[in-house]
Amino acid sequence: MPVDKINKPASVFQQTYDVIVIGGGPMGLATAYYNSKRSASTLVLEQFTFFNQQGSSAGVSRQFRIPYPDEYMVKMAEDALPYWAELQTHSQEQLLTTVGTLWFGDPTVQSTEGNIAAAELAMQAQDVPYTSLTVGEIEERYHFKDLPSNYRGLFQADGASIDLLATQRTLYDCNLASPLVTMLDQSPVIGIQQSDQLFMVTTPGGTYVGKKLVIVPGPYINDVINLLDFRIEATYWNMASAYFKKTDPAIQYPTWFVFQQPEGNSGNQFYGFPEVEWNYPDYIRVAPDFVMTPLSDPNQASFVPNPEELAYTSEWVRKHMTGLDPTPHYKSTCLVALSTIAGKEMLIDFAPSYVPNHKNIVMYATGWAAKFVPLLGSILSEMAIDGKSSYDISHFQTGQLYFRSM
């Protein structure tokens, strides 16, 4: 791997970049990729190393799914597919493995993922095909067992398992090959100043000058935008995850999510993945979609899975899944920021108007958005270069109302 584009001494960087991207995870790499397609010189600053396990891109797999309780989110998932297809042309690795999406559980439950009945209505409005399922059909077709009799479900065939690490490698390699993109890791941003409509972005390794900023550091968003005297309201989950060994080699699961009423002081939502050859073959990942103790600051994260959350998961696997040993293996965490603004799962906007040069500062934060990575990269690139997006982002814009000045 050439190193002359990575970790150059600061004295080399005399140019003014068209765009400085703060955050080198999937969103930052995707933004740089689309910037290069628009001939915009771009510097990507990553505070840790590329492909690190300290943010919301930890782990190697994610779910791509169409079901959402909101019609505009169903449309966005469908709209992302051509962007995935284009990105796939740059990789020998399969980025999306189509396995289908199964949603099932108590039809009255509202969770962080939404609601089954609302998702059906949203998909109907967008003419997305799916199959409604009884509890008996869920158990017979998808290897679950002993589910409550009131459970119902839906199956949508376009769901997929995302190889997130391969996605990041593909974007990284495209950027590495572009003369317009420079990538620096171990470069936390410690200062941002402005002069003559330019941004001076300071890291321990030097100060870099750019015309536009795209701020996408995952759960560490406030660490950066605090330097511009504003912040967003969010809570932070140090989410646990584990893998369970298959005892029946013939068993295969789709991507799935179960909607259940909470028990005690815990959540009761779980989700899972199929076996894939690139991620612990012979094991299936199952994880809780809740945390016992949310964090008020991402820097509080221990990166140690909560044993109680894993115990709930293991017990659910034992009770309701067939062909798996309920002993958790390969345990890990993923740190994610979640918006506390009602109806705003993802935040995509320019900086608030009281921030100088705010129209040249683009940010994305919060939510689960791996399924939208290439589409969001295109959106953020357009916002930075053109000052607007051709895609409707009105549902994700925050406006000054939801920002807090420092």
**Per-residue pLDDT tens digits for 108-154:** 998 888 899 999 999 999 999 999 999 999 999 999 999 999 999 99
Check 208, 220, 236, 368 and give the catalytic one: 368
Contacts (Cβ under 8 Å, ≥6 apart) of 369: 27, 346, 376
Q: Which residues of 347-385 are buried (b: 16+ CB within 10 A; e: fewer)?
A: bbbbbbeebebbebbbbbbbbbbbbbbbbbbbbbbbbbb
Element (H, E) at 142: helix 135-142
The domain made up of 10-57+165-231+344-405 has a fold known as FAD/NAD(P)-binding domain (3.50.50)
**Known active-site residue 359:** no
Check 139, 163, 289, 382 and give the catalytic one: 289
**Known active-site residue 344:** no
Measured distance CA(213)–CA(220) in Å, rounded: 16
Q: Inform me whether the pLDDT recorded for 1 exceeds 80.
A: no
Pairing of strands 270-272, 255-259: antiparallel
Give me the DSSP letters along 71-124: HHHHHHHHHHHHHHHHHHTT-SS-SEEE--EEEEE-TT--BTTB-HHHHHHHHH
pLDDT of residue 220: 98
**Known active-site residue 271:** yes
Indicate the pLDDT class of residue 61, thresholds 50, 70 and 90: very high
Check 151, 172, 236, 271 and give the catalytic one: 271
What does residue 148 show for φ and ψ, rounded to 5 degrees? -55, 145
pLDDT of residue 401: 62
In this prediction the pTM is 0.94
pLDDT tens track for 218-277 = 999 999 999 999 999 999 999 999 999 999 999 999 999 999 987 765 568 999 999 999
Contacts (Cβ under 8 Å, ≥6 apart) of 66: 74, 77, 78, 101, 123, 128, 130, 156, 158, 159
Element (H, E) at 350: strand 347-350
Q: Inform me whether the pLDDT recorded for 2 exceeds 70.
A: no
Check 62, 65, 211, 212 and give the catalytic one: 65
What is the mean pLDDT of the segment spanning 298-311?
Answer: 95
**Known active-site residue 86:** no
The CATH number assigned to the domain with range 80-163+234-339 reads 3.30.9.10
Check 18, 113, 120, 163 and give the catalytic one: 113
pLDDT of residue 265: 54
pLDDT tens track for 160-213 = 999 999 999 999 999 999 999 999 999 999 999 999 999 999 999 999 999 999
**Known active-site residue 368:** yes
What does residue 157 show for φ and ψ, rounded to 5 degrees? -75, -15
pLDDT of residue 321: 98
**Known active-site residue 65:** yes
Task: Tell me if domain 10-57+165-231+344-405 and domain 80-163+234-339 are identical in fold.
Answer: no
Query: What type of residue is 276?
Result: V
- The answer to whether 292 and 266 have CB atoms below 8 angstroms apart is yes
- The answer to whether 239 and 292 have CB atoms below 8 angstroms apart is no
Partners of 63 in beta bridges: 161
Measured distance CA(13)–CA(17) in Å, rounded: 9
pLDDT of residue 402: 60
**Known active-site residue 237:** no
What is the mean pLDDT of the segment spanning 68-72?
Answer: 96
Check 220, 334, 344, 364 and give the catalytic one: 334
Task: Indicate the domain borders of the chain.
Answer: 10-57+165-231+344-405, 80-163+234-339
Pairing of strands 101-105, 152-156: antiparallel
Indicate the pLDDT class of residue 400, thresholds 50, 70 and 90: low
